[in-house]
């Protein structure tokens, strides 16, 4: 609740606050869920990630029923995606069949520049703004904004 109260009490409200959590479903992740309106789930394009996704979605459901009834999943973004890899394509097919429109169209590719940027303490958008990874993250941001515009129009 402290994180939620801290974010809500800001004198200058933000349109978006991203809380990047570790891949484990720890207390930090649950606190982030309690403080959040929506969740964007990165899904590594690997078989075992699909199993972890179901556990994460159960945790979101539990947080929704106990501490944050407004929490919703904004979307699932495929990460470390390599279109040359059949497994990646199968994971994408499974995710789209089971989760439909929750899966973002944008996919974040495997990209060396994405891996290098943190070692220079820089976001990839500064480290190499023309890399495939940076371009993909800008595309994801545009897709997120477009989804929110569309949903706001639908709620009016």
DSSP one-letter code for 130: T
Mean pLDDT of 108-129: 95
Please, what is the average pLDDT of the chain?
A: 89
H-helix segments, the chain: 2-8, 27-35, 47-66, 86-99, 112-116, 124-127, 132-155
Angle between helices 27-35 and 47-66 (to 10 degrees): 60
User: Higher model confidence: residue 124 or residue 149?
Assistant: 124
pLDDT at position 22: 84
* pTM of the predicted protein model: 0.87
Question: Does 97 lie in the same domain as 57?
Answer: yes
- Tell me the sheet residues that pair with 43: 78
Closest C-alpha among 8, 72, 3 to residue 37: 72
Question: Does 134 lie in the same domain as 60?
Answer: no
Question: Does 89 lie in the same domain as 103?
Answer: yes
Number of domains forming the structure of the chain: 2
CATH number at residue 6: 3.40.50.300
Q: How confident is the model at residue 156 (pLDDT cuts 50, 70, 90)?
A: very low
Question: Does 65 lie in the same domain as 140?
Answer: no
Question: Does 72 lie in the same domain as 48?
Answer: yes
Question: Does 65 lie in the same domain as 7?
Answer: yes
Question: Does 82 lie in the same domain as 40?
Answer: yes
Take residue 65 and report the two structure tokens written for it.
Answer: 């029923």
Domain of residue 11 covers 2-110
- In a 3-state reduction of DSSP, which class is residue 105? strand
Q: How confident is the model at residue 124 (pLDDT cuts 50, 70, 90)?
A: very high
Q: How confident is the model at residue 150 (pLDDT cuts 50, 70, 90)?
A: confident
CA 98 – CA 70 distance, rounded (Å): 23
Question: Does 119 lie in the same domain as 69?
Answer: no
CA separation (Å) from 127 to 25, 109, 112, 113? Answer: 30, 16, 12, 8
User: Higher model confidence: residue 144 or residue 7?
Assistant: 144
* Run of H or E residues at 101: none
Question: Does 132 lie in the same domain as 66?
Answer: no
Question: Does 31 lie in the same domain as 76?
Answer: yes
């Amino acid at each position: 609740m402290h994180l939620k109260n801290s974010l809500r009490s800001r004198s200058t409200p933000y349109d978006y606050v991203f809380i990047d959590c570790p891949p484990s479903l720890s207390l930090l992740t649950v606190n982030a869920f309690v403080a959040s309106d929506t969740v964007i789930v990165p899904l590594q394009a690997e078989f075992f990630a699909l199993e972890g996704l179901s556990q994460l979605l159960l945790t979101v459901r539990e947080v929704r029923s106990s501490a944050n009834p407004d929490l919703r999943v904004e979307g699932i973004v495929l990460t470390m995606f390599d279109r040359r890899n059949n497994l990646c394509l199968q994971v994408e097919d499974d995710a789209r069949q089971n989760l439909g429109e929750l899966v973002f169209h944008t996919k974040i590719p495997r990209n060396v520049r994405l891996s290098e940027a943190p070692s220079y303490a820089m976001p990839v958008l500064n480290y190499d703004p023309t890399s495939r990874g940076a371009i993909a993250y800008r595309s994801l941001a545009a897709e997120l904004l477009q989804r929110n515009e569309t949903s706001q129009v639908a709620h009016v």
